[in-house]
Every structure is written in C-alpha cells, then in structure tokens.
Amino acid sequence: MPRIPPTTRKALLTLHLITSLGWLGADLVLLTLGIAAQRGADPAVVYPVAGLVGTVLFAPLSVLVWLVGVASALLTPWGLVRYRWVLVKLVITTVMVGLVLFLLTPNLRHASALGAALPARDRADLVIAPAVSTTLMIIATVLSTYKPWGRRAARPSRPATAPAAARDRATTSK
C-alpha cells in the first residue's frame, strides 16, 4: 500500500477521530433517549427524535467510520490485518455496521412510527442495543490508544516493519 505524507496522515487521523468518536457520541444520545423513554419521558416525542438521530446521523456515520477506519489502516504502516488491535477493531466495527444498518435502524424507524404504542420488549431493545454498541466502541477506543497484543505472525522477509510502524506512529503524535 502507498505511504502517505505526514500531513495527509494527520488529516486522515483527525477525520478518523472526528467520525469514530462522533459515532460514539451519537450512540450515547440514542442510549440517553432509550433510557428517557423507559423513565417516563413521552414516547411520542422521544422515539421520533431517536429515529431521526438513528437515520440521519448514526447510520450514515457508521458507514463513514468503517470507510475512514479502513483507509487509516491501509494507508499507514499499521495495515488492515498486520496488528491484532487493528484487526479486532475491524471485526468489531464491521459487525456493528451490519447490526446498525440491518437491525437498529429498522427498529428505530418502527419505534418512531409507533411512539407510545411500542411494546415494552421493543422499548427495552432500544436501551440494550445502544448500551452494547457503546461498550464495543469504548473497547475500540481503548484498543486504539493502548494498541495491545503486537503483530500477527511477522513475515521474515520484512523484519524492519514493526519499528517502521512505531516510527511512523511517532510522526502523527508530534
């Protein structure tokens, strides 16, 4: 994969942070709205707002996070499958994008249409789903900052890659 200049890499990392942590923020809003409806806030108001946040902000952001995350891996020495922390983040994010697009967004639309008529089990789902996804995003954030577990089976022909990745990483933290 092509190496990108340090300024472009910083711009990409900035975009990655804005989109991924914005995604986490939007998820916390959904969690707050789900809890508010459980605690007696008017579902006829809360669920349409949650539907709007889900369809206008959360679902498009999830696709953007995936795309920018993959670009951040492919265009830097980290690579997409070279380091375990990147690979685990890829798996977590891919599963989440699927759940957001094919499960959560339809559920939010349904809740938005039903409002106060939404059954209790479906109401609980609108707390559980954002609680689980928020937890996964926090795990992804912790993995990103601690970068645990090192490399997957390093190729003997490229022994300098790990230090190069560390050196390249240092260029983004100046």
* Site membership for ligand HEM, residue 13 (CB under 6 A): yes
Nearest-approach distance from CB 33 to ligand HEM, in angstroms: 19
Nearer to ligand HEM, 50 or 86 (CB): 86
| Least CB distance to ligand HEM at residue 168 (A) | 7
Q: Minimum distance from CB of 112 to ligand HEM (Å)?
A: 25
Among 65, 108, 127, 129, binds ligand HEM (CB under 6 A): 65
Q: Does 9 bind ligand HEM (CB under 6 A)?
A: yes
**What is the total count of residues that contact ligand HEM (CB under 6 A)?**
27
Q: Is the separation of the CB atoms in 152 and 84 below 8 Å?
A: yes
- Compute the distance between CA of residue 51 and CA of residue 44 in angstroms, rounded to an integer: 11
The correct pick among 37, 59, 64, 86 for binding ligand HEM (CB under 6 A) is 86
Return the residue matching tokens 């970068």: 147
145 contributes a contact to ligand HEM by CB under 6 A: yes
Q: Give the residue among 151, 155, 117, 136 at the shortest CA–CA distance from 37.
A: 117
Closest CA to 70 of 31, 12, 23, 26: 12
Taking CA atoms, 14 is separated from 9, 10, 20, 76, 133, in Å, by 8, 6, 10, 14, 22
Is 15 a binding residue for ligand HEM by CB under 6 A? The answer is no
**Rounded-to-integer distance, Cα 170 and Cα 88, Å:** 22
Biggest alpha carbon–alpha carbon distance for the chain: 63
Residues in contact with ligand HEM by the rule CB under 6 A = 9, 13, 16-17, 20-21, 23-24, 65-66, 69-70, 72-73, 76, 78, 86, 89-90, 93, 137, 140-141, 144-145, 169, 172
